[in-house]
Chains A and B, each alone.
Chain A
Amino acid sequence: MHRPDARARIVLAVLAVLAAAAIVAFMTLGVRGNWGFVLGFRGTKVLGLILVAWSIALSTVLFQTVTGNRILTPSIMGFDALFILIRTGVTFFFGFGALALMSPKVQFGAEVLVMTGFAVFLFQWLFLRAQRSLHLMVLVGIVFGVLFRNLAGFMQRLMDPVQFQTLQDMFFASFSRIDPTLLGVSTVIVGAASLVTWRIAHSFDVLMLGREQAISLGVPYRRRVATILAIVAVLVSVATALVGPVTFFGLLVVSLAHVLCGSGRHRHVLPAAVLLGIICLVGGQTLLERVFAFDTALSIIIEFLGGLVFILLLVRGAAR
Chain B
Amino acid sequence: MKRSALGVIAAFSMTAAAPLWAAPVTIAHQQGEVTLPKAPQSVVVLDWANVDTLDALGVPIAGVPGSNVPDYLSKFAGDDYAKLGSLQEPDVEGIAALNPDLVIVAARSRRSQPQLNGIVPTVDMSIDNADFIASVKANILEYGEIFGRGDRAREMVADLDAKVERLRAAAQGKGTAMTLVTSGNKLGVYGAESRTSWLQREVGFPTVTNAVDDRSDRGDAASFEFILEANPDWLFVVDRDAGVGQESGEAARALLDNELVRQTSAWTKDQVVYLDPQRAYVVMNGYQALSDLLDQVHDAVSDKG
Contact = CB atoms under 8 A, between A and B. Distances in A.
Touch test A–B (CB under 8 Å)? yes
A161 B97 contact: no
B216 A34 contact: no
A161 B93 contact: no
A190 B97 CA distance: 33
Interface size on A, as a range, is 20 to 34
A295 B86 contact: yes
A92 interface: no
A164 interface: yes
Interface residues of B, number: 27
Contacts of B215: 157, 161, 164
Interface in B193-207: 193-194
Nearest to B107: A165
B242 interface: no
A40 B94 contact: no
A159 to B, nearest CB: 9
Interface in A15-35: 31-34
Interface in A31-47: 31-34, 36-38, 40-42, 44
Contacts of A180: 4, 6, 114-115
A160 interface: yes
Contacts of B216: 161, 164-165, 168
Of the candidates A33, A174, A177, A296, the one having the most CB atoms from chain B within 10 angstroms of its own CB is: A33
Nearest to A177: B89
Given A33-B96, A38-B93, A44 B6 contact: yes
B213 A160 contact: yes
Contacts of A36: 9, 12-13
A37 B93 CA distance: 8
Given A32-B93, A161-B216, A164-B215, A41 B9 contact: yes
Contacts of B213: 160-161
A181 interface: yes
B114 A38 contact: no
Nearest to B112: A177
B5 interface: yes
Contact of A33 (B86, B88, B99): B99
A295 B97 contact: no
A161 B9 CA distance: 37
Interface string B176-210: 00000000000000000110000000000000000
A40 B5 contact: yes
B10 interface: yes
B157 interface: no
A197 interface: no
A41 B93 contact: yes
A34 B13 contact: yes
A44 B5 contact: yes
Contacts of B214: 161
Given A34-B13, A161-B215, A168-B216, A40 B6 contact: yes
Contacts of A157: 215
A149 B95 CA distance: 36
A32 B5 contact: no
Interface in B76-107: 85-86, 88-89, 92-94, 96-99
B96 A37 contact: yes
B119 interface: yes
Given A161-B213, A161-B216, A40 B89 contact: no
A176 interface: yes
A174 B112 CA distance: 15
Interface string A199-211: 0000000000000
A157 B88 CA distance: 23
B89 to A, nearest CB: 6
Given A34-B13, A180-B115, A181-B114, A41 B97 contact: no
Interface string A224-257: 0000000000000000000000000000000000
Of the candidates B6, B86, B193, the one having the most CB atoms from chain A within 10 angstroms of its own CB is: B6
Given A164-B216, A180-B4, A37 B88 contact: no
B193 A161 contact: yes
Interface string B1-38: 00011100110110000000000000000000000000
Contacts of B10: 37, 40
Nearest to B86: A295
A59 to B, nearest CB: 26
Nearest to A33: B97
Interface string A138-180: 0000000000000000000100110011001100001011001
B9 to A, nearest CB: 4
Interface in A277-320: 295-296
B4 A295 contact: no
A34 B120 CA distance: 13
Given A161-B215, A164-B215, 16 more contacts: A33-B99, A34-B99, A37-B9, A37-B96, A38-B96, A38-B97, A40-B9, A41-B92, A44-B5, A44-B6, A160-B193, A161-B194, A161-B216, A168-B216, A169-B88, A181-B4
Interface of A: 31-34, 36-38, 40-42, 44, 157, 160-161, 164-165, 168-169, 174, 176-177, 180-181, 295-296
Interface of B: 4-6, 9-10, 12-13, 85-86, 88-89, 92-94, 96-99, 114-115, 119, 193-194, 213-216
9 contacts: A31-B93, A32-B93, A34-B99, A37-B9, A38-B93, A41-B92, A161-B215, A164-B215, A177-B88
